[in-house]
Chain A
Amino acid sequence: MTALLEVEAVCAGYGRAQVLHEVDLTIEEGSITAVLGANGAGKTTLLRSLSGLLKPWRGRVRYRGRDLLSTPVEDLVTIGVAHVPEGRGVIAELTVDENLRLGGLWRRGSTAKDETATAVRDVYALFEPLARRRNNPGHQLSGGERQMLALGRALVAKPSLLLLDEPSLGLAPPVTASILALLRHLRDETGLSVLLVEQNVHSALAIADEGVVVSLGRVVARGPAAQLKADEGLRHAYLGF
């Protein structure tokens, strides 16, 4: 495997409050990496720092060898990085179809419209409830449908790396399970790499290849998901089970 994303000594925060302290991380091509930790550990801040929504104070982030921190947020999607933010980011005022088409508007050229139309059709095939509600505005969707829409919109861009923040938030366990299973399916079928921030440790480690445990803005453990799950001391100290 080769490194898709390399994070070195990233420090970030809000105002004068430092949240991330020298965070190191590597994401391999075609892998799912779960970032685990309690509320306030810095998981969401880490994702926001990687996508540039929050400018890190220092450190290096390289995506396929390219300096991600000097890449404008608007260009991330064009190089294959999609970020589904906390709260899903479904635009409630736009219809399902408009939300999905928005995911492909970064494309340029004569084939852009067709490529996006095909990608949107693929998403409808993947998430049938969305196809039935394509003309409904986002605010009329259930929590599960919103998560499908957020994920589907990211997939319309055909990313290589998906930064996914708390997909299980507010969802019933069966819905969460189906969405996480889908991530695994996408990894297997398309080679999609996923950096998954998740509080539901059991579900996340069940589908992840690697795990990173964050506490108070520091990486306190990392390794294969199965190994983290088996480490009783770690589970008690940081993962709460």
Chain B
Amino acid sequence: MSRFVFLTFNGLSFGAVYAAVALALVLIWRTTRILNFAQGAMAMATSYVALTVTQHTHSYWLGFAAALVAGFFIGGIVERVAFRRAEHAPHLNTIVIGVGLLILMQAIAGMLYGQANRDFPPAFSTTTYKAGGTALFSNEDIFTVLSVLGLMAVLGVLLTKTPTGLRMRASAFAPEVARLLGVRVARLLTLGWALAAVAGALAGMLVIPTGLGLYPGAMDGVFVLGFTGAVVGGLESPVGAVIGGVLTGLALSYASGYIGSDITQLAALVLLVAVLLVRPNGLISRSAARRV
């Protein structure tokens, strides 16, 4: 039982990270029908920004803030420069652009920082609290989960309680109608990409200090698992993305703890296939998501 409790907390912590990546992917997918394969590389880039700022200022929190701000601008620039003209192009075009951007960003990071794995300090202690000899969670785990919950809350309020959020949703669901109502759809798409990149940047800042380290390909595996979470959740729904991300984290944690760490990637695949067999459109499919 104690092992189960530990694995559950561990799964929730990593699941929160995958949820943030999934959220980033879903925010872009539902507005533009683009799967941003460069999302992980963008998070890697913002983590290098954080590392640089932290090294120069000796302040983790300035680095953390710099990563989120950098994510906002990188997301907006990537949409304007790389994807804007391809938003109505066939899916394959945008996939090629995303993969090309991924390769380009990793190459630039490699040239600037090298391929070495760099340590990145966590925000809080990673020593786990124990109850009756059972390891539970660390302060860093709490920070990770609360950060993602905070991100969800901010995005939730923005999207559902503000005029800008209403414009963003209208742009996502009916761009032509939104334009007729005076909504600057193109600007809001850019904002959506920027916010998605902030979510990705947060994921990078939360997962890289957990022993993963920072190197140009650091976020590749995290991106794959975040993508798994997004598909499990249904790709259409931000709530589904979070649920899918957390389920992915839990599945991997249980598989790693009970079967072996070699099996974790396979566990993600099994989860993906199992969910899609039962619900081909994901747990919160398009029609259900639109009734929320």
**A interface list, Cβ under 8 A from B:** 51, 53, 73-78, 82-83, 85, 89, 91-94, 98, 101-103, 105-106, 137, 139, 153, 157
- Interface pair B184/A91, CB less than 8 Å apart: no
Summarize B's interface: helix, strand, loop or mixed: helix
For the complex formed, measure the closest distance between the CB of B196 and the CB atoms of chain A, giving whole angstroms: 19
Instruction: With CB as the reference atom, state the residue of chain A lying closest to B174.
Output: A91
**27 A-B interface contacts by CB (under 8 A):** A73-B179, A73-B180, A74-B179, A74-B183, A75-B182, A77-B180, A77-B182, A82-B180, A89-B174, A89-B180, A91-B173, A91-B174, A92-B173, A92-B290, A94-B170, A94-B173, A102-B166, A102-B167, A103-B181, A105-B163, A105-B167, A105-B182, A106-B181, A106-B182, A106-B183, A137-B290, A157-B182
- Interface pair B166/A93, CB less than 8 Å apart: no
- Interface pair A77/B181, CB less than 8 Å apart: yes
For the complex formed, measure the closest distance between the CB of B159 and the CB atoms of chain A, giving whole angstroms: 11
Chain B residue numbers with a CB within 8 Å of A76 are 180, 182
- Interface pair B177/A85, CB less than 8 Å apart: yes
Question: Which 5 residue pairs spanning A and B have beta carbons closest together?
Answer: A106-B182, A89-B177, A77-B182, A93-B290, A73-B179
Q: Is B169 an interface residue (CB 8 A)?
A: yes
Q: A85-B180, A91-B170, A105-B183 are in contact. List 19 more A-B contacts (CB 8 A).
A: A51-B180, A73-B179, A74-B183, A77-B181, A77-B182, A91-B169, A91-B173, A91-B177, A94-B169, A94-B173, A101-B163, A102-B166, A102-B167, A102-B170, A102-B178, A105-B163, A105-B166, A105-B181, A157-B182
**B interface list, Cβ under 8 A from A:** 163, 166-167, 169-170, 173-174, 176-185, 290-291
Chain A residue numbers with a CB within 8 Å of B179 are 53, 73-74
- Interface pair B182/A85, CB less than 8 Å apart: no
For the complex formed, measure the closest distance between the CB of B50 and the CB atoms of chain A, giving whole angstroms: 36
Cβ contact of A137, chosen from B170, B182, B183, B291, cutoff 8 A: B291
Instruction: With CB as the reference atom, state the residue of chain B lying closest to A107.
Output: B182
Instruction: With CB as the reference atom, state the residue of chain B lying closest to A101.
Output: B166
Instruction: With CB as the reference atom, state the residue of chain B lying closest to A73.
Output: B179
In the bound complex, how far is the Cα of B178 from the Cα of A112, in angstroms? 18
Instruction: With CB as the reference atom, state the residue of chain B lying closest to A156.
Output: B181
In the bound complex, how far is the Cα of B182 from the Cα of A105, in angstroms? 7
In the bound complex, how far is the Cα of B176 from the Cα of A164, in angstroms? 15
Instruction: With CB as the reference atom, state the residue of chain B lying closest to A53.
Output: B176
Instruction: With CB as the reference atom, state the residue of chain A lying closest to B291.
Output: A137
For the complex formed, measure the closest distance between the CB of A91 and the CB atoms of chain B, giving whole angstroms: 5
Instruction: With CB as the reference atom, state the residue of chain A lying closest to B160.
Output: A98
In the bound complex, how far is the Cα of B160 from the Cα of A137, in angstroms? 13
Chain A residue numbers with a CB within 8 Å of B178 are 102
In the bound complex, how far is the Cα of B170 from the Cα of A106, in angstroms? 13
For the complex formed, measure the closest distance between the CB of B49 and the CB atoms of chain A, giving whole angstroms: 34
Cβ contact of A153, chosen from B181, B183, B185, cutoff 8 A: B181
